[in-house]
Chains A and B, each alone.
Chain A
Amino acid sequence: MKERTIWEQIADSFRSRSIWMLHYCTGCGAMELPPTMTARFDMERFGITPMATPRQADIMLITGYLNTKTLRRVIYTYEQMADPKYVVGFGSCTINGGIYFDSYSTINRLDYYIPVDVYIAGCMPRPEAILEAFNYLMEKIRKGEADGWKRYKENYDWYKQNQIRSLGEVYVHDEFHE
């Protein structure tokens, strides 16, 4: 990894204290976010808050299994987000397919298509585990280790090739908008 300049270190330190997450949920994991967001676990005390548009968000949560149809939208969304951006994969479905390992329409591992900074194991991880992962991600950002977005740029061809192999085509054809 390249040495960071002092300014980058300061910027990373600030970034880690104000992470806005994109409010986009797939799979079953969305169920664990309301308690994480609201009074019981209250993730806003760590500076994490939901954001409606990808252009202003810093992290994307992939909360569970992704089928090929959703993966196209996820790639669109991920590419719309501004740098620096981080991805957190929730649950065993994003790690190795989980109980959908033999499904004909859900992917098996997420980091093959977009770079993932933190994985949370479990089916489904509880809010404590999610907060633990957010703290770990903040730590990684502070140390400059959360560099998924750089890896995506450097290995763009590899990611694109994987995406095309599994999806056929990344472009979204939508019967209601064409």
Chain B
Amino acid sequence: MTSSMSNLVKILEGFNPFVEEIDEKEVKITISSDKVVAVLETLKSNGYSHLSLMTCIDWIDDNQLELVYILFSWKNGGKFLVSTRIDRNDPKFVTVKELWPVARFYEREIHEFFGVEFEGNDDMKPLFLELWDEKPPLRKDFDPRDYSRKKFPDRKYEKDVIKEAKIFRGEING
């Protein structure tokens, strides 16, 4: 952790975070979900103004979804990962589109692939999938193989030893 980053971590102490140092310039902060927006605001006003990624992880055994915001600073090249966990059965969170307008699209994507509702962001049209008719596909209990088998038929493969031998010997063109 560089000195400017540890100063920032001290400022954030009031939010009661769990701080992990991943790398020299990368720090992960885990906080409870009601303090996320305040932490993001603090980080943004201290130079971490670039939202490089917002993503979600499904922890099916803990019955929780983890939301991660990755903030980047163009001043010193540091990165903050702000992470929080929400309930998996009733996934709701607040939008951060007022802080970063680009978050609208990340939120649409997370809504589409994990089924998280973002309050305040009412543009929740599907972004990538068209006419999706199942549960959100990146949830761990979704079985892509089963779905693929149901929707996209396979080619049947019949073993023909003689033909294969002929191809192998170069007599016919497979």
Chain A residues close to B by CB (< 8 Å): 68-69, 72, 95-97, 101-109, 112, 162, 165-169, 173, 175
Contacts and interface: CB of A to CB of B under 8 A. Distances in A.
B17 interface: no
Interface of B: 125, 128-131, 133-134, 137, 142, 144-145, 147-148, 151-155, 157
Nearest to A96: B155
A103 B128 contact: no
B154 A109 contact: yes
Contacts of B155: 95-96, 108-109
Nearest to A169: B131
B154 A69 contact: no
Nearest to A172: B130
Given A72-B130, A167-B131, A175-B125, A97 B154 contact: yes
B153 A104 contact: no
B131 A101 contact: no
Contacts of A162: 153
B149 to A, nearest CB: 8
Q: Is the interface of A mostly helix, strand, loop or mixed?
A: loop
Nearest to A132: B173
B131 A97 contact: no
B131 A102 contact: no
Given A103-B144, A103-B148, A104-B144, A112 B153 contact: yes
Nearest to A165: B151
Contact of A69 (B130, B133, B157): B130
Contacts of A101: 148, 154
A72 B131 CA distance: 12
B152 A166 contact: yes
Contacts of A165: 151
B125 A68 contact: no
28 contacts: A68-B131, A69-B128, A72-B130, A96-B154, A96-B157, A97-B148, A97-B152, A97-B154, A101-B148, A101-B154, A102-B145, A103-B144, A103-B148, A104-B147, A104-B148, A107-B152, A108-B152, A108-B154, A108-B155, A109-B152, A109-B154, A109-B155, A112-B153, A166-B151, A166-B152, A168-B131, A168-B133, A173-B130
